[in-house]
């Protein structure tokens, strides 16, 4: 692909899409396309077909999705299943029908079984049952992976799926009702910082999680843009994990909160551990570079700079 290749980034204003946009611009790609949800409703099949037919992008990067944490997934199973199916199926099918040269599908580590062996390998997909609290989102993403695999297998097209571990970074969602664990903790500790009030967190703190800075994922996407990867599915992670308790203490220290942490063990922990084996992509030439503490510091700096303006914060 040349630097003049036309690249459409679906979800270009989200955390992942905006990071991918920044990374491609820094590499010299100038022909980038983005549409807001008001300009293009990705749930509308005909609208997506018409858009792809008119623009004829060389590459489509699907960073668009309805996402959220345990609470949001638990309370909204139907939209997490149906809207994600609609978004990705419309994009994948339009890319196939319009003969798009390359399609990069972004998913999540939640596609793997709840009790799969650790670290998670790509071949563990569909070998056991999913984590019940987010199976709706996971099933949608699995369908996207299999659709890209099917097109690749039947028609030989360069459709590839990248499955990142837990992401964080600039443009994250800090709304406590729908955010993931790291930004939710950051907001809670920040709000309690002034009074040193105790911070209540869900679960026991024992589960282990792997966290990837979104800029590292963006570099993986750039790598997939610039190389034809030999397989259809790749994990994208750091290869190291921490307990939720360790994560909380790290964020607490960086934010400067001096109060107590109270763990509500009546709330669900989710999957006991989710560490990904990213050796396949690493062997191709990509590797994560942003260490967790540094990444959290960068994210908190961004949070403070945008505290009055970012969409979901709405601090008291």
Reduce the DSSP state of residue 222 to 3 states and report it: helix
Own/partner contacts of 127-132, CB < 8 Å, gap of 24 or more, are 131/270, 131/271
Of the candidates 269, 259, 266, the residue with the CA atom closest to the CA atom of residue 199: 259
97 is in an annotated binding site: no
Which two tokens mark 18? 């905006």
183 is in an annotated binding site: no
Contact 89, 143 (CB under 8 A): yes
202 is in an annotated binding site: yes
13 is in an annotated binding site: yes
141 is in an annotated binding site: yes
CA angle 296, 297, 299 (to 5 degrees): 60
- Of 8, 137, 223, 234, the active-site residue reads 137
269 is in an annotated binding site: yes
180 is in an annotated binding site: yes
196 is in an annotated binding site: no
Q: Are strands 242-243 and 208-209 parallel, antiparallel or unpaired?
A: antiparallel
Query: How crowded is the C-beta side of 148, counted as CA atoms within 13 Å?
Result: 29
133 is in an annotated binding site: no
11 is in an annotated binding site: yes
199 is in an annotated binding site: no
129 is in an annotated binding site: no
108 is in an annotated binding site: yes
270 is in an annotated binding site: no
167 is in an annotated binding site: yes
Distances (CA, A) of 161 to 5, 100, 181, 184, 260: 20, 15, 24, 27, 41
The owner of tokens 């204003």 is 13
Of the candidates 172, 109, 209, the residue with the CA atom closest to the CA atom of residue 307: 172
Cβ-count burial 175-211 (b if 16+ within 10 Å, e if not): bbebbbbbbbbbbbbbbbbeeeeebebbbebebbbbb
164 is in an annotated binding site: yes
Reduce the DSSP state of residue 209 to 3 states and report it: strand
Is residue 168 among the annotated active site residues?
Answer: no
68 is in an annotated binding site: no
Cis peptide, bond prior to residue 167, ω within 30 of zero: no
Query: How crowded is the C-beta side of 258, counted as CA atoms within 13 Å?
Result: 3
- Annotated binding-site residue numbers for substrate: 188, 202, 209, 269
Q: Which residues are annotated as a binding site for NADP(+)?
A: 11-17, 106-109, 141, 164-167, 180
Residues catalogued as catalytic: 137
Annotated binding site: 11-17, 106-109, 141, 164-167, 180, 188, 202, 209, 269
């Amino acid at each position: 692909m040349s630097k003049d290749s036309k690249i459409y980034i679906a979800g270009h204003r989200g955390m992942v899409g905006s990071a991918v946009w920044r990374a491609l611009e820094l590499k010299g790609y100038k022909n980038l396309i983005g549409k807001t949800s008001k300009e293009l409703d990705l749930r509308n099949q005909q609208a997506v077909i018409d858009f792809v037919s008119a623009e004829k992008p060389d590459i489509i990067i699907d960073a668009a999705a309805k996402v959220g944490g345990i609470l949001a997934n638990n309370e909204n199973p139907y939209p997490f299943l149906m809207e994600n199916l609609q978004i990705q199926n419309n994009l994948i099918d339009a890319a196939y029908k319009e003969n798009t040269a390359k399609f990069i599908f972004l998913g999540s580590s939640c596609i793997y079984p709840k009790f799969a062996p650790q670290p998670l390998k790509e071949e563990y997909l569909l070998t056991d049952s999913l984590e019940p609290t987010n199976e709706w989102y996971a099933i949608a993403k699995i369908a996207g992976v299999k659709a890209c695999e099917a097109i690749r297998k039947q028609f030989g097209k360069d459709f590839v799926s990248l499955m990142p571990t837990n992401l964080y970074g600039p443009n994250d969602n800090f709304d406590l009702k729908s955010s993931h664990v790291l930004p939710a903790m950051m907001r809670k500790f920040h709000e309690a910082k002034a009074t040193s009030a105790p911070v209540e967190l869900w679960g026991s703190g024992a589960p282990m999680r792997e966290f990837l800075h979104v800029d590292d994922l963006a570099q993986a996407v750039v790598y997939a843009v610039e190389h034809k990867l030999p397989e259809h599915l790749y994990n994208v992670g750091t290869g190291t994990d921490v307990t939720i308790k360790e994560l909380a203490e790290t964020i607490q220290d960086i934010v400067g909160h001096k109060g107590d942490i109270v763990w509500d063990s009546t709330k669900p922990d989710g999957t006991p551990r989710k560490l990904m084996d990213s050796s396949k992509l690493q062997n191709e030439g990509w590797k994560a570079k942003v260490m967790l503490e540094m990444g959290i510091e960068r994210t908190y700096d961004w949070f403070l700079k945008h505290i009055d303006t970012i969409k979901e914060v709405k601090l008291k």
